[in-house]
Amino acid sequence: MLDESIQELAAGALQRIAMAGTAEELEAVRVEVLGRKGGALAEISKGMGKLSPDERKRIGAVLNQAKQEIETALDARKATFEAVALAAKLDSEWLDLTVPAPGPRRGHLHPITRIQRELEDLFVSLGFAVLDGPEVEDEYHNFDALNIPADHPARDMQDTFWLSGGNLLRTHTSPVQVRGMERLKLPLRMIAPGRVFRNESVDASHEHTFYQLEGMMIDRNVSVAHLLYFMKTLLTAVFQRDVTVRLRPGYFPFVEPGFELDIQCLICGGPGCPVCKQSGWVELLPCGLVNPHVLRQSGIDPDEFGGFAFGLGLTRLVMMRYSIDDIRQLQGGDLRFLEQF
């Protein structure tokens, strides 16, 4: 009789659990059936004291089983409700990820900075110091120490901006060579990238302000063969492909012999095209063995040390790398240009 009422109670509870529509209804069932105080099962177990030990043991087992069944059903039903609730909550958190993220995008380094850094890293990896020199120079460092005395026609090769107070705007990065020789211990390897100035009218291919990278290596027994090897290695790294170079005579008072270095045209590879003006070669940079007068001027004994020097046109390289057709863009500050790099 007790068995029956337990089973009936359990069956009823299970049915109500199955039919509960909300977590609250489910909780009501739990309290009604399993509640410690006044729960239906608790009420039944109260009357168990009157039973014989055997009967009590048996009914106890039945009671326990019913309780477990109900608890299991309650937990399962509760988990279902929770899962649904979580799903609903997550669903309500839907985000449109096609909306642009707020905040600024990454900005852009100036193209000259980019190429300059690339070259700085390359030279540092080859053991070269990166030196800085002033943009306003004295005549001594810009000209005299480089074997270009006053009234030398070579001064016409570089139209100069003269400043109040007798100084000038450096016309090349070569004066940093002189400062390097004054400062660094021998043997030395150095580059000096920087801004230079020439008094020239500005058009799509001429600027009064542009960037150069001066390089110099001074050691015992430096030869033209070393210069050739070095320039080939350097330019192969710069252009990221095998480069064929040639030297031909060029006059720069601070080197002797002096060269113009050409590279085989990277567009046509030699047969000739509009870029190389059909010659197969593109003039790239001046270089040479450091003139002994220049060494002596900086306190270096040309009988013991010699070296090579070169001047790379950074601006020109940038224009070649990105096919920039108007040099004025580089100092124009126009974001529509700068954001492309």
Partner 1 sequence: MKFSYNWIREFVPGLTQAAGPLERLITMKTAECEGIEETGALLGNAQVVLVESVEPIAGSHNVKTQIDAGPLGKRTVVCGAPNCRAGMHAVWTPIGKKVVSGVESDGMLASASELGISRDHAGILEVDTIAGLVPDAAIEIDNKSITHRPDLWGHHGMAREVAAILGLPLTDPAKLELLPEGPAAIQVMIEDYALCPRYSALVFDNVTVGPSPLWLQYRLTSIGLNPINNIVDLTNFLMAELAQPMHAFDADLLHGDTIFVRTAKAGEHFRALNDESYTLDAANLVIADAAGPIALAGVIGGGESAISDKTTRVVLESANFQASSIRKTSAGIKLRTDASMRFEKAQDPLNTVRALARAVELLPLVSPGIRLVGGVADACGPLAAPPVIELSLAWLARKLGRTLASGEVRRILESLAFTVADMDADTFLVTVPSWRATKDVGIKDDLVEEVGRMIGYDSITPEAPLAPVAPPPANPARRMQHDVRNLFVDNGYTEVYNYSFLSEADVRAFGMDPNDHLRVLNPIAEGQELMRSSLLPGIWNNVKENLKYRDSFRIFEIGQEIHPNETGLPSEVPHLIAAVYDRKETGLFELKRMAECLLPGAQTKPAQGREYEHPARAAEIHWRGELVGRLFELHPRMMETGRAAILDVNLARIAELGEAPTKYTPIRRQPSSAFDLSVVMVNRQHAGDVRSAIAEYANPLIESTNYLWEFALPDGKKSVSYRITVGSPERTLPSEEIMAIRADIIAILRELNYELKV
**Residue numbers 259-288 binding partner 1 by CB under 8 A:** 259-260
Taking residues 220 to 239 in sequence order and writing x for each that binds partner 1 by CB under 8 A, - otherwise, the string is -xxxxxx-xxx-x-------
The stretch among 32-40, 80-88, 112-120, 264-272 that binds partner 1 (CB under 8 A) is 112-120
Integer Cα distance of 312 and 91 in angstroms: 61
State in Å, rounded, how far the first CA of the chain is from the last one. 90
Q: Smallest gap, in angstroms, from Cβ of residue 97 to partner 1?
A: 21
Give the binding range for partner 1 (CB under 8 A) out of 2-10, 14-22, 59-67, 199-207: 199-207
The answer to whether the beta carbons of residues 265 and 258 sit under 8 Å apart is no
Instruction: Give the closest residue to 156 by CA, choosing from 210, 203, 200, 206.
Output: 200
Q: Does 214 bind partner 1 (CB under 8 A)?
A: no
Least distance to partner 1, CB of residue 138, Å: 6
Q: Which of 136, 205, 269, 326 binds partner 1 (CB under 8 A)?
A: 136
- Which one, 73 or 116, has the nearer CB to partner 1? 116
Tell me 247's DSSP state. E
Identity of the residue, 52 or 164, whose beta carbon is nearer to partner 1 in the bound complex: 164
Confirm or reject binding of residue 112 to partner 1 (CB under 8 A): yes
Cβ 123 to partner 1, closest distance in Å?
8
Q: Which is nearer to partner 1, 58 or 195 (CB)?
A: 195
Residue 250 in contact with partner 1, rule: CB under 8 A: yes
Instruction: Based on the shown chain and the rule CB under 8 A, indicate whether residue 334 belongs to the binding site for partner 1.
Output: yes
Rounded distance, CA 242 to CA 67, Å?
Answer: 84
Query: What is the smallest separation between the CB atom of 310 and partner 1, expressed in angstroms?
Result: 14
Which residues inside 57-76 make contact with partner 1, applying CB under 8 A? none
Q: According to CB under 8 A, which residues from 4 to 23 bind partner 1?
A: none
Query: Binder to partner 1 among 143, 197, 254, 310 (CB under 8 A)?
Result: 197
Number of residues counted as binding partner 1 (CB under 8 A): 86
Does position 79 interact with partner 1 (CB under 8 A)? The reply is no
Whole-angstrom distance, CA of residue 35 vs CA of residue 28: 9
Category of 200 on φ-ψ map: left (φ > 0), alpha (ψ -120 to 50) or beta: beta
Q: What is the identity of the amino acid at 106?
A: R
**Non-local CB neighbours of 17 within 8 Å, separated by 6+ positions:** 26, 29, 70, 73, 74, 77
Name which position in 184, 237, 268, 282 contacts partner 1 (CB under 8 A): 184
Minimal distance, residue 177 CB to partner 1, in Å: 15
Which one-letter amino acid corresponds to residue 4? E
Residue from the set 71, 135, 203, 326 that interacts with partner 1 by CB under 8 A:
135
Q: How far apart are CA 288 and CA 311, in angstroms?
A: 10
| Closest residue by Cα to residue 310 from 181, 177, 178, 143 | 177
33 versus 227: smaller Cβ distance to partner 1: 227
The first and second tokens of residue 66, run together, are 């019913």
Q: What is d(CA 302, CA 276) in angstroms, rounded to the nearest whole number?
A: 38
Could you tell me the smallest distance in angstroms from the CB atom of residue 161 to partner 1?
Answer: 5
Query: Two tokens at 283?
Result: 């003039």
Structure tokens at 182: 């004054």
Which 147-166 positions form the footprint of partner 1 (CB under 8 A)?
Answer: 150-154, 156-157, 161-165
Cβ atoms of 190 and 309 within 8 Å: the answer is no
Asked whether 188 and 218 are in contact (CB, 8 A), the reply is yes
Residue 144 binding partner 1, by CB under 8 A: no
* Residue 109: CB atoms within 10 Å: 13
Judged by CB under 8 A, does residue 257 bind partner 1? yes
**Rounded-to-integer distance, Cα 55 and Cα 255, Å:** 118
* DSSP code, position 274: T
